[in-house]
Amino acid sequence: MVTACLVAGLASCLVQHNNLLALEITSPQNKAEVTEDLVTASGIVSPSSAMVTVNDQEVDIADDGTFSSNVALSYGENTITVTATVEGQETINKTLTVMRVLNLEITSPQDKAEVAQSPITVSGTVSDPDALVTVNDRRVETASDGSFSSSVELNYVKNSIRVTATVNGQEPVVKTLTVTRILVLKLDSPEYIVTTDNGWVTVSGTVYPPSAIVTVNGKEVTTTKAGRFSTDVELGYGENTIVVNATDPVSRTVMVTRMLTLELDSPEDESEITDSSVTVSGTVSDPTALVTVNGQAAEMAIDGTFSASAELEYGENTITVEATVEGWEPEIRTINVTRILTMVVTSPYNHETVSESSLAVSGFVSDPDALVTVNDQETEVAEDNTFSATIELNSGENTITVTATVEGHEPVTKELTVTCTPAE
């Protein structure tokens, strides 16, 4: 019966052996840590007629043997003793310990945060609103829900913030974090790499805090109450270095470079072209620059766009575009384009069946100077690049071979089959 009781558990034992005194504590766990000043001690006893005390205070027992009682806690270790007695049986004592601790959490700022402003607000919560909280040794008021906040002035670079909480002479809970105050310098204009044809550029931005001293290329500039600044800087052609310093006492340095840029829009590199020439177009950052396409000067617009025609030979052609301006290394872009010969037979279509023995073969060739033959018979190419020839068909299946040839290019051949079925 003892084995069956162990297997079935305490609940079944209480039913089967309601005359046997048994006690189990279900809550709290032994050696639990809590932050509240009360903890509920609960459990189950059999028989339900037994007397149960929690720390010598008798508690009510339900018909099913369950019981619970609130126990006041002091900070540190608390002993809870639960005793069950019934007439004629040995008393059962069960003891557990519960540790009441003070909990301190800092919600803002985060440890190792970087901020530009000063002062900052340090905020958090403490589990006991009666606790004494200090921030950098300065007492802080705690709200009824345990929340607190305090303003802290920051020096530049690293600042250590120490928050402590103590209650009833207990060891203080200490949380320490590091906050770095930084100087913020932001440039709105110009961008890091600038292409401009002006002889000056506007340098503008924001500094925080506004009390910082800002210089542009060594010249102090005026800063507004909001930290805004703006000044014009003269530019020489070529590379110009613009250094913006902000000191209070930390400095930030940025560099701005003026340079000549060259961008090609058309044609695309490695493209295939059928015409004898191609228009090369693009943009240069300075419309006063000299742009050449394969050594020939290009036409330049006031917005820096340019275009020029480049002659093409059959096969691969290299196109070199160069932009030069005084005081700057030439900007060179190279692309390769291939001129190809193309031919399309528009009539008849492959595998067509006709009833007439006389057939017109027509099409289009990309070069009007190409030699076109239809079944080895030379065919004239019109100015609009079209061609047409009439051939005689045999009854049944006929093979038609159309070839276009031009100097410097492999012949282009189209072969198709036409079936002649004379009408009866």
> Which CATH number does the domain housing residue 400 bear?
2.60.40.10
Domain range for 144: 104-181
Last residue of a domain, one of 132, 160, 181: 181
Better-predicted residue by pLDDT, 211 or 331:
331
Q: Which residues contact 279 (CB under 8 A, 6 or more apart)?
A: 266, 267, 307, 308, 309, 310
Number of domains composing the chain: 5
Q: Given the structure tokens 């005194």, which residue do they identify?
A: 21
pLDDT tens column, 133-183: 999 999 999 999 999 999 999 887 789 999 999 988 788 999 999 998 887
212 confidence band (pLDDT: 50, 70, 90): confident
pLDDT at residue number 258: 67
Cα separation, 238 vs 69, whole angstroms: 86
User: Which of 326-330, 354-358, 413-417 has the least mean pLDDT?
Assistant: 326-330
pLDDT at residue number 320: 97
pLDDT tens column, 42-84: 999 999 999 999 999 999 999 999 999 999 999 899 999 999 9
Last residue of a domain, one of 211, 237, 257: 257
Q: Given the structure tokens 């189990």, which residue do they identify?
A: 24
Over residues 377-404, the mean pLDDT reads: 95
CB count, 10 Å around CB of 166? Answer: 19
Q: Are residues 389 and 303 part of one domain?
A: no
Cβ atoms of 95 and 63 within 8 Å: the answer is no
Cα separation, 42 vs 54, whole angstroms: 9
Q: Are residues 9 and 88 part of one domain?
A: yes
Q: What is the DSSP secondary-structure string of 261-310?
A: -EEEEESPTTEEE-SSEEEEEEEES-TTSEEEETTEEPEE-TTSEEEEEE
Q: Are residues 161 and 219 part of one domain?
A: no
pTM, whole model, 2 decimals? 0.46
Judged against a pLDDT cut of 60, whether residue 16 lies above it is answered with: no
Q: Are residues 59 and 84 part of one domain?
A: yes
Last residue of a domain, one of 283, 314, 339: 339
Q: In b/e form, how buried is each residue of 119-151, taking b as 16+ CB within 10 angstroms?
A: ebebbbbbbbeebebbbeeeebebeeebebebe
200 confidence band (pLDDT: 50, 70, 90): confident
Cα separation, 223 vs 245, whole angstroms: 13
